[in-house]
Structure 1
Amino acid sequence: MCVFEEKIDEATLEKLQAFEFAFSDSDGETKSFLSLAMVARQNNYVRPTLTTEPILDIHNGRHVLQEMIVDTFIPNDSKILSDGRINIITGPNYSGKSIYIKQVALIVFLSHIGSFVPADAATVGLTDRIFCAMGSKLMTAEQSTFMIDLHQVGMMLRQATSRSLCLLDEFGKGTLTEDGIGLLGGTINYFCASDDPPKVLVCTHLTEIFTESCLPKSEKVKFYTMSVLQPENNSADTEDIIFLYRLVPGHALLSYGLHCALLAGVPDEVIKRAAHVLDSIRNNKRVARLNNQNISAHDQQYQAALDKMLAFDVLKGDLNTFFRDLLPYES
C-alpha cells in the first residue's frame, strides 16, 4: 500500500494502525516501516521519485523536525541539475541556512531508506554518500571542533563522487579569519576543478570569498541567500528587520549580528556599544573609549595625582606629607 500510492489516505492509515496492533510483537524492521508510513500520513509526506540521474529536484521541501516545533514553517525548493552543483548560501544568523541544508540531506536520506518525504514533490538522484562538516562537537573525541571539521572535509574531498551530497556549514570559522577564508576558498575551488563534482551545499558568513581572486567565476557555482525584509534606511541593527526564511538567488554581505543579539536577549547597553565599535571600524575611525561614570571618576583621581606629582618640589617639599596626601588618589 505504501509503496505505490502517492499519498497515504485515512483508510490506509487505519489499516496500518490495526496492522501495527496485530503485529505488536513482530520484528523491529516491520515496526520501523509501519512508523515511517504513519508519520508520512500524519505529516502529509509524498512518495519521492528515485532516478539514476545525478540530480536533485525538491518542491516545497520541509525539515522533518523543525516543522513540528514552530507555528509556521516556510518550505523551500531545491534544484541541482547537471550544472550549478555547488551552491553557496549566505544570510544572517537565525535566517534558516542550516535548517535548509539539513532538510535537503534528510529528504535525500529518507528517500533511500524507503520512506515518503516532507515535500510537495521530490525527484532524488541515487546518492552513494552524504558527507557533513557541520561543526559537530563529539564529547569523546580528543580534538577541537575545528580539527573535527578538517577531518570531515578531508574525507569529503578524498571520497566524494558525482553521486555524493556534501554539506559544509560555516567551515573555516573556527580559526583565524584569513586562514578560514583560504581553506573555504580552496575547498570550493577543488570541487570546481572536478570534471563531475558532487552536489555541494555551503553555508558561510565569510563573504570575502566572493572576490574573483579567491573564487573564480564558474558555471558550477550558484549563489543563494535567505531573504530579509528590512527598512528603507538599510540599517543592520534595527529592530524592524524581519527574516523571511525564503531561499532566493543572490548574495548577502551582512550578517545582522546585532539584530540577532537583540533577539537573543543581549542587554541594550552591550548592543549599543557593539554598534558604536562596528560603526567606527567601518568608517576607519578610532574606537572611542567607553564613557563610564566609574571609569571617569578613576581617571579624574589619576589626573589629580599626576598633577600633584608634577607640581611637587623635590628640593623643598616634604616627601612624607606628599605621599600621605597622595594616598586618597589610589584605587
Structure 2
Amino acid sequence: MERAIARDLFSHIVLFSSHLTKVATFAAELDCFLSMALVARQNNYTRPLLTEENLLDIKNGRHVLQEMTVDTFIPNDTKILRDGRINIITGPNFSGKSIYIKQVALIVFLSHIGSFVPADAATVGLTDRIFCATGSRLMTAEQSTFMIDLHQIGMMLRHATSRSLCLVDEFGKGTLTEDGIGLLAGTINHFVTYDEPPKVLMCTHLMDLLQGHSLTKSEQISFHTMSILRPEDSSTCIEDIVFLYRLVPGHAHHSYGLHCALLAGVPHEIVKRAAVVLDAVANNKCIERLCNDNIAARDHQYKNALEKLLEFHIDKGDLNQFFNDVFSLSLN
C-alpha cells in the first residue's frame, strides 16, 4: 500500500515537473539577488560600470572577505589601460600582495554576475576569462606543487587573450632560484609579445628578476610594491618595520622575512641567528658556527673520543677497554 501511494504521488508530480523546475529556478535566482543586495547594502558596495572597452579602473577597491576579518582594511586603486598591462608587484611578505590581486579578480567576477562590488567606483571592461596561478590547495600524489603551478601557467599562456585577467602569485619559487627566475622572466616576456597583452597582476619575491636584462624593456610592464614605514632609512632593526598595505609605484629590495618570522611567533633566538647568517652571506664572510653549552660539551666528548682513538695501539691495546672508555665518555 505504501509503494502504491508513493507511485501515485510520483505520477501526479511528474505531470507538473516542468512548472516545479521553473519555480525552483526562479526561487534560486531570487535568493541570489536578495543575498547580493543585502551584502551590498550592509558593506557599502557600489554599482560597477561594465564597458566594452578593454580596461580596468577601480577606485579604493577592497577584498570581500578580508575586510570582514580585520579591524581596518586599507583599500587600493587599480588602473589598467592600454599601456602598463603587465603589473609586477614586489614587497615584503605579509604586506598584502596576494590579497590585493585576489580582490581585483573578485571585483571583476562580481561585476560580471550582476553584483555590486566593494569599491568606491569601478569601471570594468568585459572579461572572457580569469586565469589563476596562485598556489593550489589540491593535494594529489601524481603532481608536485611546482608541477601544478606549471600546468596553471601553461594553461594561461595558451589560452589568455587581450580580454583575460591573469593572476600569478610567487610562480618560480618551487624550484631552483635560477630556473624560477628564467621561467618567470620567460612568462613575462611572452606576454610582452602580444599586440595587446592580457591584464596581468604578478606577485614575486625573485628580486634578481629586476636586475640585468632578464626582462624585455616595454611600456607594457609596470612595477609596483606594497609600501612600508621605517623610522629611519638606515635602520636595520626588523622590529621597526610597519606595513602600510598601500600599493605604490616602484619595487622592493628586501622581503623582510625575518620581520614576518617575528610576527608569526618564531622564537627570537632563531630570528637572531638567521640575521647573523644573512649578514655573513651578504658580506662574503665565513659563517661562525653556532655555539652554546650543550654544543661545547658535545664537542669536548668528540675530542676526547678522537684522542683515545689516536692513542689506541691496534696490536697491544685492549679493544674491549677502548670501547668501554669511549662509551663512558659519551654517557657522561
TM-score interval, normalised by the smaller of the two chains: 0.7 to 0.9
Residue 208 of structure 1: how far off its partner (Å):
1.0
SS of alignment partner, residue 181 of structure 1: helix
**What are the within-5 Å matches in structure 2 for residues 1-331 of structure 1?**
27-139=27-139, 142-232=142-232, 234-235=234-235, 238-311=238-311, 324-330=324-330
Deviating above 6 A after TM superposition, structure 1's stretches of 4 or more consecutive aligned residues are 313-320
Q: Which has the higher helix share?
A: 2
Distance 1:84 1:299, change over 3 A: same
The separation in 2 between residues aligned to 1:321 and 1:212, in whole angstroms, is: 64
Distance 1:311 1:226, change over 3 A: same
The separation in 2 between residues aligned to 1:42 and 1:253, in whole angstroms, is: 40
**Aligned residues with identical type, % of pairs:** 72
Residue 140 of structure 1: how far off its partner (Å):
5.5
Residue 181 of structure 1: how far off its partner (Å):
0.8
More off after superposition, 226-235 vs 155-164: 226-235
> Letter of the aligned partner of 2:166 in structure 1?
C
The separation in 2 between residues aligned to 1:143 and 1:45, in whole angstroms, is: 40
Residue 107 of structure 1: how far off its partner (Å):
0.5
The separation in 2 between residues aligned to 1:107 and 1:311, in whole angstroms, is: 76
SS of alignment partner, residue 239 of structure 2: coil
Distance 1:41 1:141, change over 3 A: farther
Residue 240 of structure 1: how far off its partner (Å):
1.6
Q: Mind listing any 5+ residue stretches in structure 1 that lack a counterpart?
A: 1-22
Relative to the length of structure 2, the TM-score reads 0.87
> Letter of the aligned partner of 1:329 in structure 2?
L
Residue 330 of structure 1: how far off its partner (Å):
3.4
**Paired residue total:** 309
> Letter of the aligned partner of 1:221 in structure 2?
I
Residue 235 of structure 1: how far off its partner (Å):
4.6
More off after superposition, 58-67 vs 313-322: 313-322
The separation in 2 between residues aligned to 1:36 and 1:162, in whole angstroms, is: 29
Q: Which residue of 2 aligns with 1:13?
A: none
Distance 1:128 1:298, change over 3 A: same
Q: Deviations over 1:13-53 (max 9, x none)?
A: xxxxxxxxxx9996101110111111111111111111111
The question of whether the paired residues in 2 share the 8 Å contact of 1:229 and 1:241 is answered with yes
> Letter of the aligned partner of 2:282 in structure 1?
R
> Letter of the aligned partner of 1:169 in structure 2?
D
Relative to the length of structure 1, the TM-score reads 0.87
Residue 308 of structure 1: how far off its partner (Å):
4.0
The separation in 2 between residues aligned to 1:56 and 1:233, in whole angstroms, is: 35
> Letter of the aligned partner of 2:77 in structure 1?
D
More off after superposition, 273-282 vs 312-321: 312-321
- Higher Rg of the two aligned structures: 2
Q: Mind listing any 5+ residue stretches in structure 2 that lack a counterpart?
A: 1-22
